[in-house]
Each structure stands twice: as structure tokens, then as C-alpha cells.
Structure 1
Amino acid sequence: MPTTETHADHAIRIAGIAAEAAGGYFRSRLRIEFKADESPVTQADKVVESEVRAYLEQHFPDHGIFGEEHGFAGADRAEVWIIDPIDGTRSFLSGHPLFGFLLGFLQGGIPQLGVIGMPALGETFLGVRGQGATLNGQPIHVSDQTRLDQAVLYVNEGDKIHRDYPALFNRLMQAGQTRRFAYDCYPHALLAAGHVDAVIDYDLQPYDFLPVSAVVEVAGGVITDWNGQPLGLESDGRVVATATPELHAEMLALIKGY
């Protein structure tokens, strides 16, 4: 049975495979399809996930695999890999470099390892429970910010939050010292590295939030759903991540009732 360290070694290798596969399509002509929820998917999404699945099936044949494009195989297994081949397909298809690759390893539904790969930036964030978080092999840690009025706050999926929770959106626009709008995984990576203090996110799937949760938590941060509950496969996709417990409590108070 591979050790956690071996899992991390495989995860870094997989991130490299994913980056190379995605790079072959980035800023090229793409075939774009739209799913039932109107989210786009390209041939790059499918190729990246297929290559990652092939690797995992070879090296971890007894593990389950849950990917965005090809579904859940082995859902009854205690050990599961979870994949988002291109997190930020809209960024990818528009030539924007802030798309990512996400990989997580779960035991009993609990994230033990997470990867946030940023192929166009040459950055790989890795979090391993009990071992800490790194960026390209160098240790990273969240900031020590405890006050929301002094925090750098990123609002992910702001257009959706405005659509579904306009009053909350207005409250968020008054929060933090610095606010930025964003999408996808990179703000969570920046939080893990200490550059961002808080991220609120919305309308996510498990393959979006479970890999990043591992990175954020082992970097010293706090990440939960909007009710303060731990994230899992059954979470509703509303996520709040912060550098410190104090800041997390302020964010929960801000979004309470939504």
C-alpha cells in the first residue's frame, strides 16, 4: 500500500502530466461544447482527465476516481482520487492564464492531499495532511490576518452571488480593506500562500472545493461551507476560506442567514 509520501510524489507527477496535456491546447483553436447547465467543456478538459485517469488506474487500481468529465468510478471505495482537469474552462478557452488543474486524494471522504496546478504560470501548490503545504517545493503558509476590515477579500463567482443573493453581495462590497473579483481556484492558492486573507465562493462541485480545501487547511487556513460546517462530497458548493479562525468567524457572521 503506498505511503502518503508516495501519494504526494504521484500527485506532483500527475500535475506535470496535466500541465503538459493542457498546454498543448491552450490558446489554440478549440472545439467547445456546452453542458446542460450551460458550462463549457473543450477537448482539452476531456484529454487531461483521460490521461490522469489512465495514470491513476495504472498506479492505484483499487482506488475510486471521481472526475468532472467522466464521472465517479468506484464510489463505494474508501480511497478516492478527485479530479478537475481544467478548473476555469471559460478562462482557458478565452486565453486567460488563470485556469487550474485540481487533484485531491480522499480517505473516507476526508481530503488527505490536494494539488492546485497552474499550468500557464508554472506553479504547483501541494498540501499533504500532516506535512504542510508547498509551492513548487517551497513551504507556504497563510497570513496572520485576524481582522476583516484590514483583510484582502476575494469574491469568487460574484455575478452568481449578485444574482442569487443581492443583499449579501451588497454586504460583501462593504467588507475587507481590499476587494477583488475572481473565479476558480487561484484565489484559494493565493490564500494558502499568504497573499489573500479571505475568499468567498459559490456554486461549486466537490471536484472544485475538496482539492483546494486540503491545500488551504494544511497551509494553516480555515475552509468550510457558509454555515461553518466541514466540506465533504455532500456539501452544497457554498464555500468560505480564511487565513485565521478569527477572520473566519467574522466572515461567517457577515454571511449568516444566507
Structure 2
Amino acid sequence: MSNIVDTKRTRATAHRGDSSKYVENTLPAIASAIDADADLVEVDVRVTKDGQVILLHDASLLRIWSLDADAADIDYARIRQLGAGEERIPLLSEALELFRGRRSTLLIDMDEPGPAEAAAAVVRESGIEVAWCGNLDGMRTIRALDEDARIWLPWSKRIAPPESLLAELSPEFVNSEHVVLSKDMVEQIHAAGAKVACWTIDDLETMRWALGLGVDSITSNQLDLLQSAIAEDPQVWASAQAPGGLAGDEVLESRKVAFELAEWAVGYMRDADRGQISTKAHPADLVTEVDVAVERHVREVIAARLPGHTVVGEEMGGVSVPGAPCWYLDPVDGTTNYVNHIPWTAFSLALAVDRKPAVAVVADPWRGEIFEGWSGHGAWLNGKPLSLAPAGVSTAALAGTVVATELAGHLPWPGMLELLAELGERHSIMRIMGSATMTVVGVAAGRGAGAIIGSFSPIDHLAAMLVVQEAGGIVLNAEGEMDTFPEQGGVLAARPEYAAELYELWRQAHDDAGD
């Protein structure tokens, strides 16, 4: 049976009007989208200090209108003066008039419930039918005010909404950020009697992928491109690749879940009875009941809070799925230390999609330290930002520094002894502490010049590597390329001022070991 759907089922929704041609949320942008025969035109609403409902996405007027103030703190008379010509901030009532007698439908979005009652009153007075999307509590307000309102249920999880929520709001559409969608999820929503909408897609390949899933509406800033994709032969959509990635709400929830698990692990690992100790690959490869219990708990929490995410763990295995979020977990990194009551172990957890890390935590139960990394946003230690930017120094000699590494299991990795000798020649000391996660993540806090691991494993090293990178450290693969998730070989994490010399020593040691 074909998975291709009829193009008649798919609506083109213009994001904030025809925003590729005009300033978003202005009357010219809306009029252009209507003239271009958009099925729906999405706009955002805010309420001014004097109670006027206006079209504006951000709470602040700074990004588009160059006024460093929130709309809620300014009267509309002042707001009306911003911009030039027709490209100004309009009232919702003005926008509604553009739809009178036209085929397009206005889709009113809100990112907080505050504007719901005021916006509903404006719509009611106009007599023009609209649709509503955005904040969940805002949609609840709209439903309470109008039992016939056309509601788009906001949804950012990778499973269909629960029947209870669908029954409560009776949505016309379930509206999701596109990266969370799958064929199964679309079919489940259709089976529940709702349509599927997604946002915001601006490239042709992803538009085709969403069309191939059978979505009923796509929101885009590129209205012309979207309409051309909808008009294509559906066979073209079949080969489109899934985009991968994480939804914005999903990232925030993932950070929250990861931090909560790290906090829990600190207490549990410190206080738990280690229980029965057994071995895995060899007599030095130990596992305790705590390792298993921590991994089991993490898997249960992720399954409940982040459905659709997979876990690859040290104790229970697992495989990543292309395009899907995957957590890499070492419940107790440094188990030999843990068994021998040496307080140098860590809990390591990192989220990635297709080898692109997004979120990471490393917890040290003995010092009560929790490191966090968020791709593109920074790194923190117990809530305080980490920064490795050198103070006016571009390079520094390794003399007098500490460089950390770890054994490959219980043996030296190829080149490790050669590196030890080279570092000694430069009066730099090598340390082997027994936890690869702790070895690497310490660099983010400026502890030592750097760390070198002979063979990368995402379970053991990914979380720490992301934290170091986000703290401003240098993260390299064996070829000297910036890489937090190499496919093979070892990795280097270093403070910027030591990275060049340390990498050259590592490369030379590796070459010497191969001779």
C-alpha cells in the first residue's frame, strides 16, 4: 500500500504572513499571503499596556522594531509610531478585515495564555472565523469561551497526544514542531480523528519529507516554495530524507530530565550498598548492582518523560536509530575505583541525534559536582558558567602542567607510554586516575592542561567532551579535527593555550608506537 497522500489534504500556512517578502506580522505580509492563496496565515498576538491586541511575536519590541521595551509596558499610540509606511505593528482587528470575503483563514498564535480572552473578544466582534494555536492553557481558555472554536493543539512529543487531551480540547489539528513527527505518529493522530500540522519548514527536502508522512498542514516562511512542493507529483516525496534534530521544547525537557537524573545519581551512588560485584569481559572489568540499578532507573525515567528517545548504556546495551534522539549512558564510570572505595567515579549522560550532541551532564557524587553542557549555549558547573578562554595568552608551554589519560581497559593504549616519555621531556606530568569521564570533564573546569583518550566511546566520553567544548576548550579527533563524536580513534580535550603542543605530542607518540 502506498504511503503517499493526496495533495488536497495538505494546507500551506504562511508563517507570520508572507514573511520572506515583507516584515513579519504586518498588514503587507498578511495581504501578500492572502493574495498568494495561502490556506492559512499564521500571526502572533500580544496585548499592549492599554489593552490593545496587536500582532507581534516577541514580548520585546527590540528585534524587529528597535525599541528596547516590552509591548506590555507601552501604550499602542507609541507602538503605532514604530516602523515606516505600511510596515508597522497592526491591531488584530485590522488584520481580521483583510480576510473578510477571502478564502484564506487567519491562524492566531500565542506563546502565553494572557492574550487569549482579549483576542477572542476582538475576533467575536469581527464575526470572522479564525483558527487558534499556541500555548496549551491559552487553547483551554479559547475552548472555554467558544465550544466551536477551531483549535490547533500544541504538541512536541514523539508520540500521539493522549485521548484525554484530545477529548478535552477537540482540536481540529495537532500542531507539532516537524522534527518530532513520524509516519506512525501521523497515522495515530489521524486514527484519533484529528489532522496533523507541523512547523516551521523552509527547505524543499524537509517539505517533501513531511508531505510524504501525510501531514495536513505545513507552516513555512517560504510560502512560494511550499506551494510548489505541495503541487509536485507525490512520487517525488517518497525519497525525501528525514531531517533529524530536536524540537525546542524537547531540548528544554531533555536538559531538565538530565539534570534531575544527575542530582539523583549523586545521592544514590554515594549512599547505596554496592551489592554483589561481578565481572564482564575480563577479571578487571567489574560491574556492581549499583551500575545496573542506576541504568535501569535512567531508562525508566527517559521512557516516561521523553517517549521516542532511545538509550545506549554501558550495562544494558542498545543501538541508536538514525534521525532519532539517543542517550549515551555510563551509570558508574570508574567502577573499579567504586568497588575499591576510591572516590573518583562519575555518572555520565549525553543526548545526541545522528552523532550531533545536544545535551550532557556529568555528576561527581563524591564532591557533589554536576557539570552541564548544552550545544551552542555553554557549560556550567553547579550552575556557574565555565569558560576556558585564556587571559591574553594564545599559547603556553606544557612545562609544569598535568595531562590526564586513562588505560584502555587495564592496559596502556598504543602510544600512551611514548606520550608519557615525551611529556616527561617537557616536564609535564601524566595522571591516570581511573575514570575517563572525570579525566576529560575536569578540563572544562581548568583542571590540568588537557586529557587524551586512546579510543573514544560515546558512553564513556561524549558527555564530558561536549562540556569541554561548550566551556571553550579544544576538542580534537586523531586527525586533528574539531570533533566531539568521532567514528573511530582517540580524542583530545585541552585548554586552548595548550592544545596545539599537546596534539603534536599525541600525534608523534601515535606515529612512534606504530613504527
TM-score category of the 2 structures, normalised to the smaller one: 0.7 to 0.9
Corresponding residue number in structure 1 for 2:458: 206
1:117 corresponds to 2:363 = yes
Instruction: Report which stretch shifted further, 88-97 or 75-84.
Output: 75-84
Distance 1:174 1:78 in 2: 47
| Equivalent AA in structure 1 for residue 488 of structure 2 | S
Q: CA deviation at 1:120?
A: 1.7
**1:141 and 1:160, CA in 2 relative to 1: closer, same or farther beyond 3 A?**
farther
Q: Using the alignment, how far apart are the partners of 1:12 and 1:93 within structure 2?
A: 25
**Kindly, what percent of the aligned residue pairs are identical?**
27
Q: Which residue of 2 aligns with 1:186?
A: 438
The structure 1 segments of at least 4 consecutive aligned residues displaced by more than 4 Å after TM superposition are 162-165, 176-179
Contact 1:64 1:77 survives alignment (8 Å): no
1:240 CA drift (Å): 1.2
Quote the residue 2:485 is aligned against: 232
What SS class does the counterpart of residue 9 from structure 1 fall into? helix
Root mean square deviation, CA, Å: 2.3
Counterpart in the other structure of 1:16:
263
Superposed counterparts of 1:1-258, under 5 Å = 1=156, 2-25=249-272, 28=273, 30-38=275-283, 39-142=285-388, 144=390, 146-150=395-399, 152-157=401-406, 160-161=411-412, 165-175=416-426, 177-184=428-435, 185-229=437-481, 230-232=483-485, 234-236=487-489, 238-244=490-496, 246-257=497-508, 258=510
CA distance in 1, matches of 2:309, 2:355: 12
TM-score, normalising length from structure 1?
0.88
Partner Cα separation in structure 2 for residue 65 and residue 227 of structure 1: 29
How far apart, CA to CA, are the structure 2 residues paired with 1:71 and 1:54? 15
- Contact 1:86 1:100 (8 Å CA) reproduced: yes
> In structure 1, what residue type is equivalent to 2:324?
A
Which 10-residue stretch deviates more, 91-100 or 198-207? Answer: 198-207
Bigger Rg, which one? 2
Mapped to 1, the partners of 2:426 and 2:433 lie a distance apart of 16
Displacement after TM superposition at 1:204 (Å): 4.5
Return the alpha-carbon distance in structure 1 between the equivalents of residues 421 and 471 of structure 2.
Answer: 30
State the shift of 1:256 in Å.
1.6
Contact 1:21 1:47 (8 Å CA) reproduced: no
Q: Which amino acid aligns with 2:451?
A: V
Aligned residues: 254
Structure 2 residues not aligned, in runs of 5+: 1-155, 157-248, 511-515
Q: Aligned partners of 1:85, 1:194: CA distance in 2, in Å? A: 24
Q: Give me the whole-angstrom Cα distance separating, in 1, the residues matched to 2:418 and 2:428.
A: 19
Q: Deviations over 1:20-57 (max 9, x none)?
A: 332232xx453111112441111110000000010001
Whole-Å separation in 1 of the counterparts to 2:427 and 2:357? 29
Higher relative contact order (CA 8 A, sep 6+): 1
Deviation at 1:83, TM superposition (A): 0.5
Q: Which amino acid aligns with 1:137?
A: G
| One-letter amino acid of the structure 1 residue matched with residue 314 of structure 2 | E
Change (3 A) 1:222 1:40: same
TM score, norm. by length of structure 2: 0.46
Distance of 1:176 and 1:57 partners within structure 2: 49
Report the alpha carbon displacement of residue 76 of structure 1 after superposing the two structures with TM. 3.6
